[in-house]
């Protein structure tokens, strides 16, 4: 107790190393712990965006709650300054366990409970409190090892903290996520965190610890690392069980690409389901109806050159290639893994009639917005087969600026068709897309097609954001000049589940649903959000 009182007044601790070395080791621990802390934050944001959707909202929730909790943690740490060494060691062990296991628990709550929002807020609070408690204790420790003015100590601590945050922030997207994935990356980060905090206290400050405190820290840190190591060994089995809970028992392919998670379910082309980041994109039981409604009304006119934005599954291309007078089809898909599966997976390639074998088709792996800015060719038909605009990553691909780029890429009599979301379920989103297309310089004609039960294997409450089977599909046909009523071209191939009368009735039905007064969405002012 006397030693602690002396050290709090500025006296140096009894160290097994020289003060300058001890100071360096404390700053090294600050660097490592800061890197781990930022990895926890980014991992929560990334996983929440995948599981819940709307990355802007999830990032705001995680960061604001975490910063608030850090303030609480700093206040609570005042009570531990008299026991700074053992307090810091226990806090780092707790942070390693909670932060390292957070991704695992979030995914489990999503898979088996269908809800991960409460777990997200809870982990943000807990991790924030523990991170906030670090700096006051580290401030006490660094002044114990090397007597210096408070301003210099604060400057050193924050410099190491910020540099560590930079390294952690870069390591997450460029190293941990692509090489290890979210679950293993978080577990490994937790183990590094526990090892760094435990090593600093048990070596540099071991003379300040009672034998009981040393035993406690050894047992706690070894237990935390053992738990994280065991979870790492079992993570593959956990992922398989969680995927079965989310997607059913027929998961055939599950790939985490640099863009998204891609999952294929079903044993053949008749039962196939394609999920991208937990959202059902293709169901073999009704995809013909969707793709026929998307493609064929736009093919009524010149169609020698066709551009498909998105649609890496090859299903829109399948419908386009049914026209013999089409000379070239360009598919721009951001995720090469999707086009690779569309080429090689027996069920998916069978469903798209082996469209990628057709010499008229060219696949390009690129972001559609960036690619359009650099491309100077003209197209008779542009087909926008992209995820719903309510998904934040797709918002710029439903902006007025994006449609302005498409307008420049259209030939004089060219047409654009846009999948704009369901006008009945999400009317604000649908009519905001329509306003954005018009703001891009094109005239529009909306139409809707009622959907059929998707029959996908996952129950609706297992899908992210509470997503349900589509009740209807909404489309926009657009051109530089007036747009007539959507229909089918003369000599169009026979359709499997759609007729011209239904398309025309869909246009009249969409007009009856019109929601006036919507403002275009732009890059600076996006106006899409998830509707109930």
Give the model confidence (pLDDT) of 105-120 as tens digits. Answer: 999 998 898 888 899 9
Smallest CA-to-CA distance from 329 within 357, 301, 348 is with 357
Which percentage of the chain shows pLDDT scores above 70? Answer: 91
- Listing DSSP states for 388-431 in one string gives -TTSGGGGGGGSHHHHHHHHHHEEEEEEEEEE---TTT-HHHHH
CA distance 349 to 241: 27
Place of tokens 């695992």: 104
Q: Torsions phi, psi of 258, nearest 5?
A: -70, -10
Residue 161 annotated as catalytic? no
Smallest CA-to-CA distance from 382 within 486, 518, 476 is with 476
Q: How large is the average pLDDT for residues 227-238? A: 96
Packing angle between helix 55-76 and helix 19-51, nearest 10 degrees?
Answer: 140
* 455 touches 283 (CB < 8 A): yes
Residue 199 burial (10 A CB sphere; 0-12, 13-18, 19+): middle
Tokens of 306: 């066709």
Confidence of residue 390 (pLDDT cuts 50, 70, 90): low
The answer for residues whose C-beta is within 8 angstroms of residue 490's C-beta and 6 or more apart is none
Tokens of 7: 């050290």
**First-last CA distance in the chain:** 60
The pLDDT value given to residue 452 = 58
The pLDDT value given to residue 46 = 87
> 75-113 burial, b for 16+ CB within 10 Å, e for fewer?
eebeebbebbbbbbbbbbbbbbbbbbbbbbebbbbbbee
CA distance 195 to 381: 58
pLDDT at 371 over 90: yes
Of the CA atoms within 13 Å of residue 98, those in its CB half-sphere come to 21
pLDDT at 65 over 70: yes
pLDDT at 461 over 80: no
Tokens of 321: 């290639």
The pLDDT value given to residue 20 = 82
CA distance 507 to 492: 19
Q: How large is the average pLDDT for residues 136-140? A: 91
- Edge to edge, the sheet with strand 251-256 lists 251-256, 261-265, 273-276, 279-283
Q: Which of 161, 208, 286, 385 is catalytic?
A: 385
Q: What is the DSSP letter of 203?
A: I
Confidence of residue 55 (pLDDT cuts 50, 70, 90): confident
């Amino acid at each position: 107790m006397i030693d602690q009182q002396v050290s709090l007044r500025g006296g140096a601790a009894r160290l097994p190393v020289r003060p300058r070395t001890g100071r360096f080791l404390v700053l090294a621990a600050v660097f490592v712990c800061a890197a781990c802390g930022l990895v926890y934050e980014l991992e929560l944001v990334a996983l929440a965006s995948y599981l819940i959707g709307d990355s802007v909202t999830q990032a705001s929730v995680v960061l604001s709650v975490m910063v608030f909790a850090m303030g609480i943690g700093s206040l609570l740490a005042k009570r531990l300054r008299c026991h700074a060494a053992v307090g810091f060691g226990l806090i780092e062990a707790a942070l390693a366990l909670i932060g390292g296991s957070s991704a695992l628990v979030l995914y489990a709550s999503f898979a088996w409970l269908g809800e991960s929002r409460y777990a997200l807020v809870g982990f943000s609070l807990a991790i924030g409190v523990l991170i906030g408690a670090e700096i006051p204790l580290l401030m006490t420790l660094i002044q114990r090892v090397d007597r210096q003015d408070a301003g210099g100590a604060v400057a050193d601590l924050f410099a190491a903290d910020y540099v560590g945050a930079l390294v952690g922030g870069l390591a997450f997207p460029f190293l941990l996520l692509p090489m290890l994935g979210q679950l293993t990356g978080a577990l490994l980060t937790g183990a590094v965190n526990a090892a760094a905090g435990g090593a600093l206290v048990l070596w540099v400050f071991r003379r300040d610890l009672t034998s009981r405190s040393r035993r406690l820290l050894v047992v706690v840190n070894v237990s935390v690392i053992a738990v994280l190591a065991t979870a790492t060994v079992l993570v593959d089995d956990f992922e398989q069980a969680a995927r079965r809970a989310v997607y059913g028992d027929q998961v055939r392919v599950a790939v985490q690409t640099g863009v998204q998670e891609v999952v294929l379910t079903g044993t053949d082309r008749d039962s196939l389901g394609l999920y991208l980041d937990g959202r059902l994109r293709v169901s073999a039981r009704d995809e013909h109806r969707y793709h026929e409604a998307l493609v064929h009304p736009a093919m009524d006119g010149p169609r020698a050159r066709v551009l498909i934005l998105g649609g890496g599954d090859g299903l829109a291309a399948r419908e386009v290639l049914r026209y013999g007078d089409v000379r070239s089809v360009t598919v721009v898909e951001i995720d090469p893994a999707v086009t690779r599966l569309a080429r090689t997976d027996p069920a998916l390639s069978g469903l798209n009639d082996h469209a990628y074998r057709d010499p008229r088709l060219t696949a390009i792996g690129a972001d559609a917005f960036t690619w359009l800015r650099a491309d100077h060719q003209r197209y008779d038909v542009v087909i926008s087969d992209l995820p719903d605009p309510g998904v934040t990553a797709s918002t710029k691909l439903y902006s007025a600026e994006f449609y302005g780029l498409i307008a420049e890429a259209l030939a004089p009599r060219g047409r654009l068709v846009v999948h704009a979301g369901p006008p009945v379920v999400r009317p604000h989103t649908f009519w905001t897309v329509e306003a954005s297309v018009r703001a891009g310089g094109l005239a529009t004609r909306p139409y809707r097609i009622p959907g059929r039960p998707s029959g996908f294997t996952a129950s609706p409450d297992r899908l992210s954001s509470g997503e349900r089977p589509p009740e209807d599909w909404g489309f926009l046909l657009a051109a530089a000049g007036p747009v007539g009523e959507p229909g089918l071209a003369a000599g169009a191939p026979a359709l499997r589940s759609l007729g011209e009368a239904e398309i025309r009735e869909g246009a009249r039905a969409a007009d009856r649903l019109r929601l006036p007064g919507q403002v275009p969405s732009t890059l600076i002012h996006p106006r899409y959000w998830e509707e109930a």
